[in-house]
Structure 1
Amino acid sequence: MSISEMLLKAFNTDPKSYQEATSREDASKWITAMYDEIKLHMENGTWELVDLPEGRKAIKCKWVYTIKADGCYKAWLVAKGFSQQYGIDYEETFCPVARWESICFLLAHAALENWEIKSLDVKTAFLYGKLDEEIYMEQPEGFMKKGMGAKVCRLRKAIYSLKQASCTWYYKINQSLTKLGFVCTKSDAGIYVYHQRQGEVIVILYVDDILNIGPELKELTRIKEMLSKEY
């Protein structure tokens, strides 16, 4: 089999629907992946089941599946954010990220000064953002609570594909960095600087990807450990 055929096969193996995922030979693995995702939401307090208020409409959701490079089966529950109504389900959606020029400059500076660099990837980052809006979502396919089929999910925290998901995550990580003593630069909303007796650290924030840069490895490790406790 050629490389192109292998790649084509790899891209075509992921199920496109709940019905397909639960009817394949590897259905047990997909079901386990979905249970893991639901468990994560339950532990996170993403939603609570309530009656849909009169005059309100619940947005739909769907399952998205993929087999990662390491062979791990992963299922994500995503909202159909395109059905959200502006002014009712969302308002602010903008999420600032570090400018490419800032990233290049800081990495070049770190190389020139022989500084240390630590990378962080916050898993399920969007699920940490708390929602101010009153948003209702249909129960996940295949995981409807027995005897509570008429109930809907009142979202307390953001979920993938909500229009404001990335924005709420930015507010959350901004609060965390500020609490640790970081100051956001005026020239770039994705760059945070930390100047304390313990040392100097610069954080580059690009959605859920974080780079810690500084002269002292010990201080970078300390900041990384503190963020890991919260996320």
Structure 2
Amino acid sequence: MRKRFAPLVPLALTLVLAACANHAPQSEIAAPAQASLPSRPVVAAPVLNQNEANEDDAVADFAGHAPYQLPQLADSVLEKGISLIGTRYRFGGNSVKTGFDCSGFIGYLFREELGMELPRSTREMINIDAPLVERKALEPGDLVFFSTNGRGRVSHAGIYLGDDQFIHSSSSRSGGVRIDSMDDRYWKRTFIEAKRVLAMAPTEHAASQH
């Protein structure tokens, strides 16, 4: 069995908060906290679309309100993501060599670690037919979406780590790939919704983690 992901050395967050291409006002930035990933509690997951549940055993677990069963899939994605902290931001970028924008970073991790091809833009990504997750029920690996342009439309995305922290590719000014707190006022105000895209992972990947 794979080594568990939770025990990580805390990461100091000292860079200015920013969205994928938009920056948070300085007056709204809260002092960043150290990031660490907790051991995962067993929590009930939200209701899943029944049609999808019938197609995939992993998704069916959610439809039946089974405990969260995808922690090791999250481990694979997040281990890789954390190894890329500091990778530069680049609009339209989707590789380590070129740098990443927010959706390019997410797409790279899911493609490399799980063989999943996600939509390229945040506007398409938020429409993936995956289970919606309430803010209080977030689990590591869930995608979190934000509206940072003040228009109520999605414009930024990241991956939830646990302990109210998420990893994302922010902007060139704030250092590219980094970890921020969802409890910071800026991110709390701009948060839209979250989805459990891991539930849509190819069956062979889900089975290999058990």
* TM exceeding 0.5: no
Q: Greater Rg, structure 1 or structure 2?
A: 1
Q: Higher strand fraction: Structure 1 or Structure 2?
A: 1
Q: Higher helix fraction: Structure 1 or Structure 2?
A: 1
- For Structure 1 versus Structure 2, the TM-score category normalised by the shorter chain is under 0.3
Query: Normalising by structure 2, what TM-score?
Result: 0.24
Comparing both chains, which one has the higher relative contact order based on Cα–Cα distances under 8 Å and sequence gaps of 6 or more? 2
Query: Normalising by structure 1, what TM-score?
Result: 0.23
